[in-house]
Amino acid sequence: MVILTLNGNHASRLQHTENYPSMPTSGAPSYQLEDLKKNEKQPDTDGVGRFKPTADDDACFGLWNMYISQAHEYDKALLEGWKGDMDGILLFSALYSATLTALIVESYKKLQLDPADLTTSLLTTISLQLASISNGTTTTVGLSDTSFKPMTSSLICNMLWFLSLALALTCSLLATFVQQWTRDFLHKTTMRPSPVVQARVLAFSYFGLRRFGMHTFVDVIPILLHISLFFFFAGLVAFLLPVNLPLTILMACVLFIFVLVYSALTLHPLQSLDTPYRTPFSDLLWHVANGFFARRNNLASELSLTEAMVERSLHKSPDRDSRCMEFTMKSLNHDTELVPMFMAVSDALASPQTGGVRLANFGIVAPLIQSPNPENNMISRIHHFISVSGSLAGDPERRVRNLEHCLHALTSFGWLVVKHGAENVGSDYSQYPIFWFQRDLVELLSSSPSLPQGYLILTIAALQTSRVQGFRRCIEWMSEALSSSKTNTERLGDARSIFTNLSREDIDWISEKFTPQFDQLDSTLQNGCMSGMTETDAAALVQQAQEHIAQLMDMSRWKAALISVLSQFLSAAVDAALEPLEMTMSFDLIHTSIPRLEVFDQSLDVEEDEAQATYLLQSTSTEPGSVSPELFILVFKLLFSTKRALHFPGAVECRKIIYKYLNNCTTNQAKLLVESDPAHRLEECALLDLSSDGAGDLARRWILGLDTLYHSMGFNESVVPPRLLSFAKEIFRLIPTASTNFTQDRWWFCTSTDTERILCKDIIKKLEYLSRGYDISNSHDISSFITPTMSDIHALGQKLLPELPVPECPSPCSPDEYQHWITEIQDYVLSMHLLITAKYIRITSEDIRITVGDWNNIGFSTQMHHGHIYKTVQLQFANSVWKLVSRDPWKHGDSPKSVLFHHSLWRLSPHWCWVTDVGSAKILAKAIRRHKSDANFAGIVWYEQACLDRCMEVIRKAEIVEEEDEWKDEDDEEYDIEDEDKDKE
């Protein structure tokens, strides 16, 4: 049984790299081996020393599983790489050692005296002696020197070969060790099934592997083997030197070439990081150079060679990316294989956060749509895919999904081209196609009703926008050609060659002003291609062509073109009763596709026939259920893109549709419409129609629509928004001149009261500012603020309190006089405010189904007031309350009358101190007693009792005064009688 001691507090796993540097990379945590060793804690153990995971350890099950999945993936690749390297080293070293051993067997003999040489020397001596005896002479022949000294070349050869053999065998042994150690590593890390235990063993073993430099150990083995090979070749040269000089020279050349090639393979990756060549010495030199080569490649100096190669590969290269895309398209032989490519293109290009498309990826996908080879051109492949989609067998739902992906990819291409063209104005147009998308593709899409409509509408809009942009680019290109420094004849020829890209069928919009100019330009350029033309005639034709192009370049004509595209886009959505995907973003891309052209700028006008495309609102539904608010807003914006929006023959009907939509939509939907109308076209329509006679049902729709418009602009807010205030002032100014069709409508009184309420609420807020101690030392400053406020007070006072004068601010005045005036003007304004409140109560007391008035703000104003309210206003307020109470609102459940009575009316004041009129107090007391005496009385509501108490107090005070007056009258009568008696006497 193996007992494992595990590290219970291990550090996080180090960042793995392919060449496993001994030093940590910059920016990553630095783990010192000594610190790791010090931080190791002994695990909790039982009596026999076995580790048992605690409940806390088990709670980390998921975390450790994530660690194991990532660590095992890395370790598997690491150890398999080591194993493959060691297998190759073992095989090579075995063969190499066998070959080297055979050569050493021959070479080592030259290190000692050869017996055969000694025998030959003796035989030679004997032969000489015998020869001298036979001649009758005596010759003394001495033996040759038997001492032996090996040649230097033999010593060098054997020394190198024996070193080489020793290194090769050492490599084999070390490779065997590495294989054994990797097997042991895998065994230790997988012998326990528990993720907690397995993770701790894995971390403990891996950090030990790094701590003792096993990465470096493995890297040294191939270096030793390569050194052994160098020794072999050097020894071979030394071996052949005494044998044969030419053969020695040949092997020396081979050795030189080998060293040269090896050096090149070693140095080449240091210069070019994308090279596939590499030797073990490459990493060594990279490390020794201390980041010199990394800095030359604009990389961090602490990166290893492998990390540098990976980092360098991540740098963008448009040329390399385009070649990859071309290869991918070549590999997709069948149309059905294109569907994943459609999805990938959509993901690569779509980006709502960056204006719809990722323009940075243009260089990657541009080769896919501009290649002249149909097999490599994705637009051509999409065209074929859509053409044969109806004949493909299989699941219909899957076919629809595939077509959706296809159209989405085509839309992404379209928006990418449009965005690229809009942001690269003035670039060389010749490097890109005039038309990325051919006319037959648009015709195919338009004639394929089976395609998914939500995607098809967007796709056609994108392609048409791109074609309009391409048309204009072609005109600009011709303009540049006619303005070049070439001869007039050459200019006409260049312009004619560009014009051949265009056709009258490319003009997809109606324009009686654009088409004739286009035809005349065609005729002029054709005349310019006639042979035998003089330079003078060519100059005249160039001038004519430039005049035609100037007319064609008029921004109004291109505004008409984009209006036509927008109209077709929105019309298709309205007819299909759906909201296309990314509709608003597509709408914005269309009207911004031509730089320096503001489609919604009314100062840039179009012709009547061109403006017909903007009248789409006439056929648009007003039901939010059938047309989304976003779609209605875009149709509304299109209508007001020209000056004719308010005055064309169907303009009144269009405005009726706007009012009807406002009446049918929710407040939030109306707010969305208001926020999308920064030019205040809605107010312009309302003011125009209020000035008219309101014939037909225009007045009713106007009044109902105005109510929604008020609320969407912030009618219920505590502070009146500037836009609402400005609009209400204009409505208030026109109310006295409104025709009877408006004033006789049952809702007119409510509309006029809302308008008065808006003005009064704004005045109250301004008076609050004045009452907080406005600096009156600067008479000019105070006049500039008070004068417009007083103007509003006068205007509203003439309508609500015409019989009462408006308190005027004395100028100049002392602080006491100023504060006295503030009190008077607040009483006047709060009287108007209460009069408006009385109107709301009277409206609600009638048989209506809605609650009118912003009661939260109404109550806040009256609660804070402790001043005086004019008697006539108190009386009108009391009468309106009595009218409401006389309807017994507490009996009507959740009706507007009941809601007003229970939740708003009696919260107007906690003290009711401004009730001072006896007649008003009696009426209010009468109303409250009616409520209390009812059989369904459920208790006092809010400050109802306070109101009753105040009314009784006012009544009692009046009675006391009345009694005092009676007593005074009686005393006066007695005095008169006494005087008469005296006179008689």
pLDDT 10s digits, 627-667: 888 899 999 999 999 988 888 888 999 999 999 999 888 88
Whether the ω angle into residue 812 lies within 30 degrees of 0, i.e. cis, is: yes
Residues linked to residue 351 through DSSP beta bridges, in sequence order? 356
Tell me how long the chain is. Answer: 985
Q: What's the pLDDT band for 941 if we cut at 50, 70, 90?
A: confident
Q: Which residues pair with 350 in a beta bridge?
A: 357
**Binning pLDDT at 50, 70 and 90, where does residue 427 land?**
low
When pLDDT is cut at 50, 70 and 90, the band that residue 7 belongs to is very low
- Hunting for tokens 């002392």 — which residue is that? 814
Q: Which of 681, 652, 682, 687 is nearest to 665 (CA)?
A: 682
Closest by CA to 616, choosing from 654, 659, 565, is 654
pLDDT at 673 over 50: yes
Question: In the chain, what are the helix, strand and coil shares in percent, each to the nearest 5?
Answer: 70, 0, 30
Q: What is the pLDDT of residue 780?
A: 47
State yes or no: pLDDT of 176 exceeds 70.
yes
Q: pLDDT grade, residue 180 (50/70/90)? A: confident
Closest CA to 415 of 631, 634, 560, 585: 585
Q: Is the pLDDT of residue 1 over 50?
A: no
Contact (Cβ atoms closer than 8 angstroms) between residue 228 and residue 99: no
pLDDT in tens, 142-161: 555 556 566 777 778 878 87
901 secondary structure, DSSP code? I
* Unique residue bearing structure tokens 């926008």: 465
Residue 230: the pLDDT is 82
If residue 356 lies in a helix (H) or strand (E), which one and from where to where? strand 356-357
- Residue 896 predicted with pLDDT over 60: yes
Six token digits for residue 630: 């976003």
Of 301 and 489, more confident:
489
Residue 903 is given by DSSP the state I
Report the 10 Å Cβ neighbour count for 484: 11
With cut-offs at 50, 70 and 90, classify the pLDDT of residue 880. very high
pLDDT digits (tens, 9 = 90+) for 207-241: 777 777 777 777 787 888 888 888 887 877 777 77
What share of the chain has pLDDT > 70, as a percent?
A: 80
Predicted confidence at residue 8, as pLDDT, reads: 35
DSSP 530: -
- Phi, psi of 791, deg, nearest 5: -60, -40
446 with 459: CB under 8 angstroms? no
As to burial, measured by CB atoms within 10 angstroms (0-12 exposed, 13-18 middle, 19+ buried), residue 784 is: exposed
Residue with tokens 């400005």: 726
Distance CA 915, CA 198 (A): 85
Residue 779 scores a pLDDT above 70:
no
Coil, helix or strand for 647? coil
State pLDDT tens for residues 238-269. 777 777 777 778 777 877 887 787 777 778 77
Q: How many Cβ atoms sit within 10 Å of the Cβ of residue 918?
A: 18
CB count within 10 Å of CB 295 equals 12
CB atoms within 10 A of CB 382: 25
The predicted structure's pLDDT at residue 3: 33
Inter-CA distances, 456 with 165, 236, 320, 452, 891, Å: 75, 76, 33, 6, 57
Task: Compute, in degrees rounded to 10, the torsion defined by CA atoms 902, 903, 908, 910.
Answer: 80
So what's the pLDDT on residue 772? 65
pLDDT value, residue 314 = 65
Does residue 765 contact residue 721 with C-beta atoms inside 8 Å?
Answer: no
Beta strands in 868-977 (DSSP E): none
pLDDT digits (tens, 9 = 90+) for 93-121: 777 777 777 777 766 666 655 566 667 76
Task: State the pLDDT at residue 141.
Answer: 54
For the packed helices 855-863 and 815-845, what is the interaxial angle rounded to 10 degrees? 140
Higher pLDDT, 773 or 744: 744
Is residue 709 within 8 A of residue 661, CB to CB? The reply is no
> Residue 547: exposed, middle, or buried by beta-carbon count in 10 A (0-12, 13-18, 19+)?
middle
Confidence of residue 43 (pLDDT cuts 50, 70, 90): very low
Give me 372's structure tokens. 């002249």
**525-573 pLDDT, tens digit each:** 988 878 778 888 889 999 999 999 999 999 999 999 999 999 999 999 9
**Residue position matching structure tokens 């030197």:** 241
pLDDT tops 80 at residue 372 = yes
CA distances from residue 932 to 176, 929, 936, 939, 955 in whole angstroms, order as listed: 105, 5, 9, 8, 19
Can you give the pLDDT at residue 429? 57
Give 357's strand partners: 350
pLDDT at 44 over 60: no
pLDDT in tens, 461-491: 999 999 999 999 999 999 989 998 889 998 9
Please give the average per-residue pLDDT across 952-957, as a whole number: 91
Which of 57-71, 362-376, 426-440 has the largest mean confidence? Answer: 362-376
pLDDT-derived band at 270, boundaries 50, 70, 90: confident
829-836 mean pLDDT:
93
The whole-angstrom separation of Cα 866 and Cα 949 is: 16
pLDDT of 9 above 50: no
Q: Given its phi and psi angles, is residue 696 left (phi above 0), alpha (psi -120 to 50 degrees) or beta?
A: left
Instruction: Write down the mean pLDDT value for the chain.
Output: 79
- The arithmetic mean of pLDDT across residues 578-602, rounded, is 88
Q: What is the pLDDT of residue 508?
A: 87
Residue 430: pLDDT over 80:
no
